[in-house]
Amino acid sequence: MFYIGREASKLWKRFCAEVTTEINLLAENWKYLLAGLVCQYIHGLAAHGVHYLHKPGPTLQDLGFFLLPELGRDKAYLSETLFTIIFVSFFLWTFHPFILKNKKIYTVLIWCRVLSFLAASQALRIVTFYSTQLPGPNYHCREGSELATLPPPKSVIEVLLINFPHGVLYGCGDLIFSSHMIFTLVFVLTYQKYGTQRCIKQLGWLLAVIQSLLIIASRKHYTVDVVVAWYTVNLVVFFVEKKLPEIPDRNSAATALLLPMSVKDKDGWTKEENHKLMNGNSVDPAEWRQRTQSNGKISEKGSAYHADSAMNGA
């Protein structure tokens, strides 16, 4: 009981220290997070708006439809289930520094990057599906379905509210390119750079491929919607990332700051030193050894690097 109580106390102190750090980062970056969330709403509004323009028609000839058997209405939930698993898993991973010792990322800064990738990709998506409206292959978008077309809106409020969540689940016309693949690929690419478990990185790419096949098999998108998403999102992340500042390196000094310390140790830190540590900088290069890192990427577990070599650029 004594051991459990002591570990619980350490966990609580670690959690409180991490909350303090993230609140400070949130105070500096809340505008970027808010802008990213606003872009999400604009994307939803645009997807809902194109539904008013959708004209149901015969399903277009598609190679993926020819190769993959149709799942049917009763199994169409499989793609949504997998997407939910990917989304929730990534969301929980971004908050793992609050409870785990191996702190490698800052939650606020990670979400700033993720939202910027999503906003850029979705802006391109809005341009493409408004340029040409294709007949939706989904069951509720086909000829004869009452949901395939929307009556003219009675008020502006009806459009602005997006008929959530019904309007999101049963939308038509927003095809090229797949929004589900935008989220999936952005999450996988982000973990590829900042994650530490190699097996999870490989699993992430496998799930992205399975997600692509399920989307086509459930007839939610044409094959072109998925193919375009694969190369567009990768290119967007590649170019946008070059414009964003790199996330500060959480070296051993910064990690030590967030771990529970004695009152004597806390009193020894000055305000200026605390500020430096929160930004990922060492107070004394001779005393603290920089955490291993290569080109801004978190080194994977199981890979051996030497900190001295990394610091010398080797």
Does any domain span residue 300? no
Say what the pLDDT of residue 18 is: 83
Name every residue whose Cβ is closer than 8 Å to that of residue 300 and which is 6 or more positions away in sequence: 195, 196, 197, 198, 201
- Domain-embedded: residue 117: yes
Helix or strand or coil: residue 297? strand
Residue 295 in tokens: 């080109």
**Looking at the domain assignment, is residue 16 inside a domain?**
no
In the block, tokens 């500020």 appear at 275
Per-residue pLDDT at 285: 39
Rounded to whole angstroms, what are the CA distances from 217 to 87, 170, 204, 305? 20, 17, 20, 43
- pLDDT of 110 reads 93
Given 43, 48, 54, 221, the catalytic residue? 221
Given 51, 54, 225, 249, the catalytic residue: 225
In a domain, 292, yes or no: no
On whether residue 92 sits in a domain, the answer given is yes
In a domain, 2, yes or no: no
CA–CA separation, 132 and 52 (whole Å) = 14
pLDDT given for residue 3 in this prediction: 59
Establish if 47 belongs to a structural domain: yes
SS3 138: coil
Whole-model pTM: value is: 0.77
Q: Which of 180, 267, 275, 308 is catalytic?
A: 180
Q: Is 221 a catalytic residue?
A: yes
Digits of tens for pLDDT over the chain (314 positions)? 655 666 667 777 877 888 888 899 999 999 999 999 999 999 999 999 999 999 998 999 999 999 999 998 888 889 999 999 999 999 999 988 887 777 678 899 999 999 999 999 999 999 999 999 899 999 989 988 888 888 888 888 878 887 766 666 788 989 999 999 999 999 999 999 998 889 999 999 999 999 999 999 999 999 999 999 999 999 999 999 988 888 876 654 344 444 333 344 444 444 454 554 444 444 443 343 343 444 444 555 544 444 344 334 33
Strand partners, 294: 297
Domain span at residue 56 reads: 32-254
Count of the separate structural domains present in the chain: 1
Q: Would you call 225 a catalytic residue per the annotation?
A: yes
Greatest pairwise CA separation for the chain in angstroms? 74
Q: End-to-end CA distance of the chain, in Å?
A: 48
Is 1 within the bounds of a domain? no
Predicted confidence at residue 260, as pLDDT, reads 39
Predicted pLDDT of residue 93:
92
Residue identified by tokens 């998925």 is 226
3-state helix, strand, coil in the chain (%, to 5): 65, 0, 35
Calpha distance 291→287 (Å, rounded): 13
